[in-house]
Amino acid sequence: MTERSFRILLLGGDGVGPEVLNEAKALLETIGEPAGARFAFSEALIGGAAIDAHGVPMRDEDVEAALNADAVLLGAVGGPKWDHLGKTERPEAGLLGLRKALGLFANLRPVKVFDALANNSPLKAGVVRGSDLMVVRELTGGLYFGQPSARTTDESGRHAVDTLPYHESEVERIVDLAFRLAGSRRKKVTSVDKANVLNTSQLWREVAIEVSRKYPDITFDHALVDSCAMRLISRPRDFDVMVMENLFGDILSDEAAVLAGSLGMLPSASLNGRPPRRSGTTAALFGMYEPVHGSAPDIAGQSIANPIGAILSASMMLRFSFEMGEAADAIEAAVGQALEEGMRTVDIATSGEVPVSTSQMSSRIRTLAVAQLSA
Ligand code: IPM
Ligand code: MN
């Protein structure tokens, strides 16, 4: 097998971010050789860590380093220490700026309920078991970046405004990606909007219908975001790929996380639909990969964070950026096996179960993944 080599930028960030990222890195180092790939890692700061060291949530040169990597693996940003800072100075500004600078318009958030955790959700096991859906969130438009966005004060009092703009081309590319993803899944797309109220949602729906005509073999429907929020937890198995604008996706993806039993389980990928910028790379698509969970400052430094979200993010990186589907399958199967064996970090341990540490969970998954790969 010819060995391929990839450059990965690690952005640990804050709180548990660096802890879980270390485990994802360890997994990649272990699985590289049997999977026929070599990974070269570099590191940079983002979020509160970057504010403390450099005075900004991410330096331009580090954004540049991200642009020159084949893929970026990120931990999490934010924490109470930086909560007093204004919108453009906060840790979150580093992440939002990076998404924008890298043009990462497509945020993929798969939610798969592992059988072993069907009883972990506060929802009934019979409702969540077998759920396997993917939230495709538009990531560089809508309310997060629309102008005007401002706070002002005049003699009448305080005002604030945010703006929700979408161009048809932005809707087209994300909906199209959702249809292509559905093609390799259960062939169903649900487009989520608020077309009974919002202009942007009416445009979204029109464009989604136009795109759907290119994919006659994919089942397609629309859902209004409010009733969709309800169906997502009452009938989650109805959904395969769900595509929606930025803020709807932010909200519904956290809601969907309840199905999985813990936010700590969930990975994400953010794509710009293009190969990496650097020439000569064999990477297929550039992407940034991060667990959906936040920096969890309350448990940082205790080695108890669930590394699975970060590990599954690394697995998505292998699948989408490096075309290493077999290794990605092995990792996902290993996670399932570790859970079947009863390995539980504290966030997924139910009463009577003795929780394992971050590194115990991670090292078991590594062992099982390598065994899977050579099986
Ligand atoms: C997420 C987070 C971010 C977002 C924050 C940290 C800016 O909640 O990735 O979902 O709102 O996009
Ligand atoms: Mn969020």
Task: List pLDDT tens digits, range 243-299.
Answer: 999 999 999 999 999 999 999 999 999 999 999 998 888 999 999 999 999 999 999
Whether 126 and 244 share a structural domain: yes
Closest-lying ligand 1 atom to the alpha carbon of residue 139: 12
Same domain, 47 and 136: no
Residue 60 belongs to a domain: yes
Measuring from atom 6 of ligand 1, which residue has the nearest CA? 92
Distance (Å, whole) CA 196 – CA 202: 8
Ligand 1 pocket member 250 (CB < 6 A):
yes
Our mutation pick for probing the ligand 1 site, out of 96, 140, 313, counting the most ligand atoms within 8 A of Cβ, is: 96
Which residues are the active-site residues?
Answer: 144, 194, 226, 250, 254
Task: Indicate whether residue 19 lines ligand 1 (CB < 6 A).
Answer: no
Which residue's CA lies nearest to atom 10 of ligand 1? Answer: 250
* Pairing, β 4-13 against β 71-76: parallel
In a domain, 116, yes or no: no
Structural domain that includes position 294: 1-110+262-375
- Residue 172 belongs to a domain: yes
139 ligand 1 Cβ < 6 A: no
C-alpha radius of gyration, the chain, whole number: 20
Q: How far apart are CA 371 and CA 375, in angstroms?
A: 6
Neighbours of ion ligand 2 (CB under 5 A): 250
In a domain, 239, yes or no: yes
Say if residue 198 is in the same domain as residue 243.
yes
Examine the domain organization and report whether 143 and 12 are in the same domain.
Answer: no
Which ligand 1 atom is at minimum distance from the Cα of 290?
9
Residues 212 and 294 in one domain: no
Mark whether 355 and 371 lie in a shared domain: yes
290 pocket-lining for ligand 1 (C-beta < 6 Å): no
Residue 36: partners with Cβ closer than 8 Å, 6 or more residues away: 1, 2, 3, 4
Q: Encode pLDDT of 292-339 as tens digits.
A: 999 999 999 999 999 999 999 999 999 999 999 999 999 999 999 999
Separation of CA 250 and ligand 2 centre (Å): 5
- pLDDT, position 2: 63
**Positions in the chain whose pLDDT score sits under 70:** 1-2
Residue having the nearest C-alpha atom to atom 12 of ligand 1: 250
Q: Whose CA is nearest to atom 3 of ligand 1?
A: 92
State residue 375's pLDDT score: 81
Q: How close is the Cα of 202 to the center of ligand 1, in Å?
A: 25
Residue 373 and residue 328 share a domain: yes
**Domain end position, chosen among 206, 234, 260:** 260
Total count of domains within the chain: 2
Residue 136 Cα to ligand 1 midpoint, Å, equals 14
Instruction: Specify the residue for token string 């992440």.
Output: 95
Same domain, 100 and 147: no
Among residues 14, 23, 11, 45, which one has the least CA distance to residue 306? 23
pLDDT at position 3 is 80
Structural domain contains residue 166: yes
**Are residue 273 and residue 362 in the same domain, yes or no?**
yes
| pTM of the model as a whole | 0.95
Cβ atoms of 59 and 50 closer than 8 Å: yes
The CATH number of residue 287's host domain is 3.40.718.10
Residues 86 and 10 in one domain: yes
CA atoms 339, 124, 243, 162: torsion sign: negative
Q: Which amino acid is at 143?
A: L
Last residue of a domain, one of 260, 281, 309: 260
- Cβ–ligand 1 contact at 96 (below 6 Å): yes
Domain assignment present for 192: yes
Q: Is residue 73 part of a domain?
A: yes
Assess whether 126 and 91 both reside in one domain.
Answer: no
138 Cβ inside 6 Å of ligand 1: no
Classified as helix, coil or strand, 369 is: helix
C-alpha of 272 from chain center: 14
Q: Is residue 202 domain-shared with residue 182, that is, in the same domain?
A: yes
User: Ligand 1 within 6 A of 245 CB?
Assistant: no
Last residue of a domain, one of 260, 285, 300: 260
CA distances from 114 to 111, 278, 290 (A): 9, 37, 19
